[in-house]
Amino acid sequence: MLDVDVRVRRGSLDLRLDVEVAAGQTLVVLGPNGAGKTTLLEALAGLVPLTEGRVVLDGVVLEDATAGRRVPPESRGAGVVFQRQLLFPHLSVVDNVAFGPRSRGASREEARENAHRWLVRVGLLDHDHARPSTLSGGQAQRVAIARALAGAPSLLLLDEPLASLDVDTRQQVRSELRHHLAAFDGPAVVVTHDPLEALTLGDVLVIVEDGVVTQQGTPAEVAQRPRSPWVARLVGVNLVRATANGTELLVQGGSARLTSATVAEGDVFAVFHPRAIALHRRVPEGSPRNVWEAEVADLDIEGQRVRVHLGGALDVVAEVTPGAVAELDLGSGGRVHASLKAVDVDVYPA
């Protein structure tokens, strides 16, 4: 069990985080650049001192700012994988992987035997005598993962482990990393700004924005019920904050109103998918509960769909087919009517 209750002040950043990570569980810390993710990982590794709080691993206090206790990085039992692999350039692949066991007292022969076993697991045994400079990015990251795990760490820390890889390599290494994390017995913390990594690698997600936790939960909970505009953009949905009176919603910060099929009271979040918004050049017929005028602000093509950014009373995104773009002449911009069914508006407490 990893128990973290910390505050780290670093320049203009004021990071605060309180979280527990169970043995065998992977916590993914997700957030925009500058949110404090890497600072958190460096603090857990012992590379940055805490301003306040403490870090406890399996009942052992690694750091306590109040008591003045601070275990040095090399004695924390943590395996660390950095974005840039930081392999020792003067050592062969096998000796890079053997470094952890050697530093913990294993003989050269024992460490190398263990390293060879890990190279088999990551599919690089035939590169055991190669130097890091001869490896591809994906191969080097596999070596870095093997090196972190070969020392039998009690805690695994990964800082943007796939960020430096190309798209095809990243997909393959992500799948392998997910397997290694599932097999790891201790707590693991992965830092990333990539939503796909977060949703596929994490058992629990913590969203950090400007040093503050804005949301925490399982990947499904975070994706289905975002609690900040950044998370909503991340998972591709529209999010507005509103005051609910029964099924009627007054959007905060303006005069726009929405109707939901859900009865609620007080401050709420309302979320709806861009595909649920229909666009029309004239007032739509039928009985959609929510109709408003909007301005076409921009168009983005994503695969077989087009995301239409709408301005006006509601700053939201609609998602339509390329055919609809042509039929409605959305490329010319201008005013449109947007409609949204009440049943497509999900409401939950703010």
Say how far apart CA 290 and CA 344 lie, in whole Å: 10
pLDDT digits (tens, 9 = 90+) for 193-214: 888 899 899 999 999 999 999 9
Burial of 152 (0-12, 13-18, 19+ CB in 10 A): middle
Tokens of 31: 């957030």
- Of 12, 14, 28, 16, the residue nearest 159 (C-alpha): 28
pLDDT digits (tens, 9 = 90+) for 286-338: 777 899 999 999 999 988 899 999 999 899 999 999 999 999 999 999 999 99
Which helix (H) or strand (E) covers residue 204, if one does? Answer: strand 204-209
Beta strand segments in 95-136, E: none
Q: Which residue has the tokens 């004695």?
A: 75
Q: Which residue has the tokens 């913390």?
A: 189
Say how far apart CA 154 and CA 109 lie, in whole Å: 23
HSE on the CB side for 257, CA within 13 Å?
7
Residues in the chain, pLDDT under 70: 85
**Dihedral, CA of residue 25, residue 194, residue 304 and residue 176, to nearest 10:** -50
| Structural domains of the chain in order of their starting residue, each with its CATH number | 2-232 (3.40.50.300), 236-349 (2.40.50.100)
Say how far apart CA 317 and CA 279 lie, in whole Å: 11
Say how far apart CA 27 and CA 189 lie, in whole Å: 5
- Of 206, 210, 273, the residue nearest 239 (C-alpha): 273
Say how far apart CA 40 and CA 259 lie, in whole Å: 41
HSE on the CB side for 103, CA within 13 Å?
19
Percent of the chain topping pLDDT 90: 78
Tokens of 275: 């595909």
Identify whether the C-beta of residue 56 lies closer than 8 Å to the C-beta of residue 77. no
Those residues whose C-beta lies under 8 Å from the C-beta of residue 331, and which sit 6 or more positions away, are 299, 325
Give the pLDDT score at 274.
97
Say how far apart CA 293 and CA 281 lie, in whole Å: 10
**3-state secondary structure at position 193:** coil
Identify whether the C-beta of residue 115 lies closer than 8 Å to the C-beta of residue 97. yes
Tokens of 49: 């001192």
Say how far apart CA 118 and CA 98 lie, in whole Å: 9
Burial state string for 78-87 with b = 16 or more CB within 10 A and e = fewer than 16? bbbbbbebeb
Say how far apart CA 203 and CA 298 lie, in whole Å: 36
